[in-house]
Structure 1
Amino acid sequence: MSTGKLCLEHIRPVIDAVDVLNGKWRIPVVVALCESPRRFNELLRDIKNITPRMLAKTLQELEQHELLERVPDTDNPATTIYQISEYGHSIEPLILALTEWGTAHRKRLIGKS
């Protein structure tokens, strides 16, 4: 097997994963929903600086990737609750790893100043 093909076999899955999570708002939305299911307005409140239009677009994209699902609110059927799907829970170890690395990286950079 050529080195180029082996490299591509390792790179392609990473590119696929990054494509799903790419964008300023996808990871924050996933993180928020991993903590607990939320209504649209709760997500707007909890994710600072996201616009309603961008939140709607991000939720739609994450739903297309099957990372979240919409369920009717039992208290108010006209309201939708967004939650991580069963498949979406598979991304939680990655989110935890990113959190740990980001925390360590931030400490490393602050320690150099």
Structure 2
Amino acid sequence: MEILRTYPKVKKCPNSYVLAVNDTLNVLSGKWKLPIIASLMYGNKRFKDIQQHIAKITPRMLSKELKDLEMNGVVARKIHDTRPVLIEYELTDSGKTITKVLDSMVEWGLSHRKLTIDQ
């Protein structure tokens, strides 16, 4: 509270803002979730296709992360009634809105890489 008196222009962060950031981190946290989403941004994919796009992810970890993303409503699992059965993963409507965040992250990452390499 002392900081607020010392710096009158400092605004108090609303609780809802912090909760929203925590919700986002709970859904997207971890090493693999954003790469999985990035892979699915370019269309539906089978498990093996996703695994091939993401270097060093194990099948067990991919399966776990896909289940988490499905549980959080970001990814949907689509089962086609064919022989053999075809299972595809796709972004939900909510998952597709994350692409704006990823695009911003890519833009920042490219800019940051350029600044740090040029130094």
**Using the alignment, how far apart are the partners of 1:54 and 1:66 within structure 2?**
18
**Using the alignment, how far apart are the partners of 1:31 and 1:102 within structure 2?**
14
**Using the alignment, how far apart are the partners of 1:61 and 1:10 within structure 2?**
23
**Using the alignment, how far apart are the partners of 1:33 and 1:77 within structure 2?**
22
The C-alpha deviation readout for 1:46-102, integer Å capped at 9, x for no partner, is: 111000000000000000110010112465461200011112111111111111111
Amino acid at match of 1:97: S
**Using the alignment, how far apart are the partners of 1:102 and 1:18 within structure 2?**
18
**Using the alignment, how far apart are the partners of 1:76 and 1:107 within structure 2?**
49
Number of residue pairs aligned between Structure 1 and Structure 2: 110
Gaps in structure 2 of 5+ consecutive residues: 5-10
Amino acid at match of 2:97: S
- TM (norm. structure 2) is 0.83
Shift in alpha-carbon separation, 1:11–1:77, aligned structure 2, 3 A? same
Query: Could you tell which deviates more after superposition, 91-100 or 6-15?
Result: 6-15
- TM (norm. structure 1) is 0.87
- Deviating above 4 A after TM superposition, structure 1's stretches of 4 or more consecutive aligned residues are 74-77
Shift in alpha-carbon separation, 1:74–1:99, aligned structure 2, 3 A? farther
Q: Which residue of the partner structure matches residue 85 of structure 2?
A: 78
Residue 27 of structure 2 is aligned to residue 24 of structure 1:
no
Q: Which residue of the partner structure matches residue 97 of structure 2?
A: 90
Structure number with bigger Rg: 2
Q: CA RMSD in A?
A: 1.9
Residue 37 of structure 2 is aligned to residue 36 of structure 1:
no
**Using the alignment, how far apart are the partners of 1:41 and 1:76 within structure 2?**
17
Amino acid at match of 1:72: I
**Using the alignment, how far apart are the partners of 1:108 and 1:97 within structure 2?**
16
Identity in percent:
31
Q: 1:63 aligns with which of 66, 70, 95?
A: 70
Gaps in structure 1 of 5+ consecutive residues: none
